Structures are given as C-alpha cells and as structure tokens.
Chains A and B, each alone.
Chain A
Amino acid sequence: MRPNELKSKRIALGLSQQDLSELLEICPILISEYEMGLTPIPKLIELAFDTIENRLKKTSIKSEITLKPFFRVKIKKLIKEANKAEFARDIKTLRVVLEPIWLDIKKRPEIAGYDDEIKAEILRLCGFYLTFYGRANNLKYCQETAKDFLFKSVEMFESLDLLERSAEAKITLAFCYWNSGEVSETDLVLNTIEKDFSGEMSHPLFIRVQINRLLIFYWNKENKRAERLI
C-alpha cells in the first residue's frame, strides 16, 4: 500500500489520523509518518486497515454488539456532519444525518452505550432539530420534547464540567423558548449564560448571547435598549 492510498482511503472513510490510530491502537504520529512516506507501511497495518474499512462500510450505527470503538468513530463522524448542518441551519439534512440513531422524533434518540459527552451532544442536536422543525410546522409537542432533551443535555454537560458545551446547550434551549413564544424564559436562559461568561466579553458564547438578546429587543420593540447594547 502506498502512502497516498492510505491517506485517500482514510479520508474517504471520514476518519481523522487520530480516529484511525485509535482504531488500530497505535500512536497517531505513526499514521502521519505512513501517509508522508517517512515510514514504510507494514503488511500488518495494510491488512488491519482492510478490516477497518470493511467493518466501517458494513456496520450500521444501530447494531452495537462488540464493535464499540468503531461505533465511537462513526458517531463522532455523525456528530460532525450534524454540527455542519446545524451551522448551516439545514434542518432537512440534519434530520437525515440524525436518522440512524433517532428514527422516531417523538422518542429519545438511541444513545445507550455512548460516553456521556456524546449523549449530551446528541440530545442537544435533536433538541435543536425539534425546536426548528416544530416552529416550521407549528407543532407544540416538538417544543416540549426539545425542552426535555435540552434540559438533559445541559445537566449532562454540567456534570462533566464542560461549561462551554453546557452554554451551547443553553443557547439551543433559549432558541426553543423563543420558538415557543416564551420570550421572558428566553431572556432568563440567556441571563444564566451571560453570568457564566460575565468576565469574558469577547468570548464567542457571550457575543452570541448578545446577538440573541438583540433579537428579543427587536421583538419587544425596545429599540433604545438595542442601540445601547450595540
């Protein structure tokens, strides 16, 4: 196997060098050396990679069994794609991306067996989807389910001491209140994030809160307050 071939196959599988090194249980630097041609690719690695390629192509996220490391990589790839769709506000694509782990939007996604950080992020993404889907289709139950997912996500991120991730989930929760027409609750949630980042006015999350707050001022026709904030 040539260095370029390993690299292109790895990329085609959506794996980072780190992901591949985790699956092979070798040092990430080795992957980089193989791909740059600094170290010859041993036959063992070539064969092992072949198995990884085969399993990743065959396995579905839903069937867990004994392939946990493979699923971890697959779910990380799914989250990455979902984050991209979320960033682009592409709700249709987000639904397609989340479908393998979330068939019925009235139920919780299938997250058993994953690490808490992954569970929390999936709940946040599902909450994000529901709140926008619910708003577009005027479905109240979507907002309620979204709130349930998002509260759980915030709680999990906080218990892991991941404050920035928790703030992300809170921003999604604020969206959810906003989409439900609960403006004062939106304000309250934004207040809690603002408090967490009060000393860091240039922090992206603090700025996002301010942008969302502007939206509330605009909605409430509080132009003076909006001007002051700007």
Chain B
Amino acid sequence: MEAKEFKRKRIRLGLTQTELAEILDVKPNTVSRYETGTLTISKVVELALDAVERKMKEENLLIET
C-alpha cells in the first residue's frame, strides 16, 4: 500500500491521524510517517486498516460522502 492511499483511506474513514493512531495502538507520529512515506506501510498495517474500515462499516460509523 502506498502512502497516498493510506492517507486517502484514513480521510475517507473520517479519522484524524491521532484517532487512527489510537485505534491502531501506535504513536500519532507513526501515522504521519506512513502518510509522508518516511515509514514503509507493512502488510500488517494494511490488513489492520482494512479491519478498521470493516468494523466501522459494520457499526455504521462511516459518514457517506
């Protein structure tokens, strides 16, 4: 997964970097580093983000844009 895609997904989920960091249980600057491309997005992170998206959909937490 590329940095831009990661960022797009987070925004689509309506989450701030801090909120996503809390959900993933990582430091807030880690999310920022993923999005700027200074930190490689591992498969685990990619799959975890998918899980966040799915859980938010299941609980109707996604805001339709």
Contacts and interface: CB of A to CB of B under 8 A. Distances in A.
A48 B48 contact: yes
Contact of A51 (B23, B24, B42, B47): B47
Nearest to B47: A48
Interface string A28-67: 0000000000000011110111111010000000000000
Contacts of A50: 51, 54-55
Interface residues of B, number: 17
A77 to B, nearest CB: 19
B42 A25 contact: yes
Contacts of A26: 43-44
A24 B45 CA distance: 9
Contacts of B50: 51
Interface in A128-145: none
B43 A44 contact: no
Interface string B46-65: 11111110110000000000
Identify whether the interface residues of B are mostly helix, strand, loop, or mixed.
Answer: helix
A43 B47 CA distance: 12
B54 A51 contact: yes
B15 interface: no
Contacts, number: 48
Taking residues whose C-beta sits less than 8 angstroms from the other chain, chain A's interface range is 10 to 19
Contact of B25 (A24, A44, A48): A44
Across the A-B interface, the 6 shortest Cβ-Cβ residue pairs:
A43-B25, A48-B47, A47-B48, A25-B43, A47-B51, A51-B47
A48 B24 contact: no
A42 B43 contact: no
B24 A25 contact: no
12 contacts: A25-B44, A26-B43, A43-B25, A44-B24, A44-B44, A44-B45, A44-B48, A47-B48, A50-B54, A51-B48, A51-B54, A54-B51
B45 to A, nearest CB: 6
B59 to A, nearest CB: 14
A50 B24 CA distance: 13
Contacts of B43: 23-26, 48
B39 interface: no
